[in-house]
């Protein structure tokens, strides 16, 4: 693959989807939950704040 092809592949690739089901949950410390609540307040998130989509915003 040429450097241009590699760059194109990297720029269009997406991360794999997050797993679903019981294995999709991770334990969060109290500090991490507080950080997520702060971010949710700042971004105006309502509803299920800890869905896979929202955890993805903070690299979880």
**Segment 8-41, tens digit of pLDDT:** 655 566 776 766 666 666 778 899 889 988 988 8
- Supply the DSSP string of 2-60, one letter for each residue: -HHHHHHHHHH--PPPPP-SGGG-----HHHHHHHHHHHHHHT--S-TTSHHHHHHTT-
Question: pTM of this prediction?
Answer: 0.38
């Amino acid at each position: 693959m040429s450097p241009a092809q590699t760059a194109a592949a990297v720029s269009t690739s997406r991360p794999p989807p997050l797993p679903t089901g019981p294995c999709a949950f991770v334990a969060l410390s109290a500090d991490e939950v507080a950080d997520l609540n702060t971010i949710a307040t700042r971004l105006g998130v309502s509803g299920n704040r800890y869905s896979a989509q929202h955890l993805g915003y903070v690299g979880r």
